[in-house]
Amino acid sequence: MKKQALILIPMAACMALTGCGQKNIKTELMEKNVINLSWWGNDSRHTYMMDGVDLFESQNPDIDVKISYGDWNGYETKTQVYMESGNEADVMLINYSWLGRYSPTGEGYYDLYELSDYIDLSTFGEEYLQYGIVNGKLNALPTAMNTVIMCFNQDIFDKYGLELPTDWDDLFEAAEVMREDGIYVMSIAKKHAVIMLYSYYEQLSGKQAFNSDGQFLLETSDIEIMLDFYKSLVDEKVMIPLGDYDRNQFTNGQAAGTAIWVSDAGNYCNALENNGGSPVIVDYPMLENAKSQAKYIKPSTLYAISKNTENPVAAAKLLNFLLNNQEMALLTGTEKGVPISSSALSALSENDKLGSYEYEAYEKMHMDSANMSILYPAMENDSALNAFKNGADEYLYDKMTIEEAAQLIYDNIHAVLED
């Protein structure tokens, strides 16, 4: 009996310790709210956005953020594909023009007023909220304000003994000397080039190309003047033809200037500076006796929440983080422009992060903003811009007469906008 007891005791002990007996193991899985976030941009934006998402996820372990991003070129198509197919991200970086396109009645995006428990709207001035309101519904919140500014490489002008251009004639004069060395005065992307042509024509005629309802107001005769001016810009080597544009032409010295968004000032100026150039931010060229200032302002980008989101609260938390969180503001800096959110702005100012080119551009915009008119979304509608560019190419490369090309542009822009 004793021996049996002696053997049984440690056996029982070992069985107890090794769990030979049955035991229920309960594993609790944390429920994760999965939301999607999409944006466009370049490397620096992709990097800080991904860092921001990591930070947000660490602060909100119950939310899993899936990301989708891409280059601006083609992003409108991507947006169309996702919006129209009902696959859009829960939180989206959107362009001002998309409000009119996808939410003409204010029903196209989630009404952020309904999520104001999770989004701090007090950091946005009422005048800025207006940009995101459609039909009384807050469809989006602007990150920053934007306008087109000119950026020149001071070194090239110094080399030819030229002053920085302030009017259109200065541009042609500069081209006269620069073209000897194959240098263009300006390399401008499609959107800025077309907006610049609208601006030129508005200065000249006082006629706006679009109204607030998105209607195209120009006649073929107006377009002909713009086309003629564009051809002279190309022929006189003032501007690189749109078809040959490359974003590096300004930063690598093939062109002495460019037109860019205020929010892009850092990207271009820093790149030029890194290549040994001297960037200078200046005003848009202006006609003497211009009939209009013809400068346009808009929110640089906005954040919206999908009307179809299954996780409005998680999406609202992410949106609030992107716009108001001070750590996120420090990651973002002024890459999207100087932020509108007072919380983000104070984070930047307290941390001495406002000395950049974007801030310089922002100051210039801010001082001039009273003279600016709203950049109507139709003006930067990608299809409308393509319609203009394609027609211009037909004329530029002698495939059509100026009348035919102007008619083509007129028809196509109307077709696009009526769509």
Among 4, 18, 85, 289, binds other proteins (CB under 8 A): 18
Contact between 46 and other proteins per CB under 8 A: yes
Contact between 44 and other proteins per CB under 8 A: yes
Cβ atoms of 293 and 221 closer than 8 Å: no
Among 67, 125, 308, 411, binds other proteins (CB under 8 A): 67
Smallest CA-to-CA distance from 378 within 211, 263, 242 is with 211
Query: Shortest approach of other proteins to residue 2 CB, angstroms?
Result: 6
User: What six digits make up the tokens of 342?
Assistant: 């007072």
Query: Shortest approach of other proteins to residue 244 CB, angstroms?
Result: 8
Contact between 74 and other proteins per CB under 8 A: yes
Smallest CA-to-CA distance from 177 within 169, 188, 185, 189 is with 185
Total residues in contact with other proteins, by rule CB under 8 A: 43
Query: Shortest approach of other proteins to residue 39 CB, angstroms?
Result: 10
Contact between 25 and other proteins per CB under 8 A: no
Among 34, 59, 62, 73, binds other proteins (CB under 8 A): 73
Coil vs helix vs strand at 85? coil
Smallest CA-to-CA distance from 283 within 165, 177, 366 is with 165
Using CA atoms, how far apart are residues 64 and 258, in angstroms rounded to an integer?
40
Among 71, 158, 310, 350, binds other proteins (CB under 8 A): 71
User: What six digits make up the tokens of 37?
Assistant: 């976030």
296: β partners:
373
Query: Shortest approach of other proteins to residue 323 CB, angstroms?
Result: 22
Contact between 355 and other proteins per CB under 8 A: no
Beta strand residue intervals within 43-198, DSSP E: 63-70, 91-94, 133-134, 137-138, 140-153, 184-186
Residue 102 or 210 with smaller CB distance to other proteins: 102
Residue 270 or 346 with smaller CB distance to other proteins: 270
Instruction: Supply the DSSP symbol for 40.
Output: E
Q: Which window, 195-203, 303-311, 346-354, 392-400, contacts other proteins (CB under 8 A)? A: 392-400
Query: Shortest approach of other proteins to residue 390 CB, angstroms?
Result: 8
Using CA atoms, how far apart are residues 54 and 319, in angstroms rounded to an integer?
14
Cβ atoms of 321 and 56 closer than 8 Å: yes
261: β partners:
148
Residues within the interface to other proteins (CB under 8 A): 2-3, 5-7, 9-11, 13-14, 16-18, 42-44, 46-47, 50, 66-71, 73-75, 77-78, 81, 241, 243, 247-248, 252, 267, 271, 274, 393, 397-399
